[in-house]
Structure 1
């Protein structure tokens, strides 16, 4: 998945990352692909549990090929904030690369 991010134009990388994050949350919440996931709602407001968050964290780690802090999903409790965190901390090398 990091190859997809690297091959995307720099201006589109955050959008690609957000799509990956949204897809994992929708899968965990059993949402259909055509249903919109609010990006600014807390994960818990969306119906996530601690167990589901742990599963999403593991799937994101697998897809991104990077470790994610166990507290990241609790400290960045919306898709928008989590995407920002992933881009600036976890995948900084990709987002800083040309």
Structure 2
């Protein structure tokens, strides 16, 4: 299944074993866009946001976009307690 452009509401309808993978695609899509990465490039999930080259302002933009896409607020402190894409995906999977 293709997950790009899918909302969290649609993801919630997936079987549990597909949900996390789909959430990973959704989040990675936003980070890749912010980092001007090609769709087929691999986004490292275990590298810190700032080590990826993001600024605080750009990270704030990603946060706002993700909040809209997943339909839940993401406290800014979460981004500092979970400072990698993988950890953010884990958080969203746990709280969705």
Contact 2:48–2:84, Cα closer than 8 Å, also in 1: yes
Q: State the structure with bigger RCO (CA 8 A, min sep 6), 1 or 2.
A: 1
Gaps of 5+ in 2: 1-6
- The residue number in structure 2 matching 1:33 is 39
RMSD: 0.9
Deviation per CA, 1:38-72, whole angstroms, max 9, x where unpaired? 01111111101100110000000010111111111
Aligned-pair distance for 1:3?
2.2
Q: TM-score, normalised by structure 1?
A: 0.87
What residue ranges of structure 1 are gaps of 5+ in the alignment?
A: 92-98
- Higher relative helix content: 1
Task: Give distance in 2, aligned partners of 1:15 and 1:77.
Answer: 19
TM, length-normalised to structure 2: 0.89
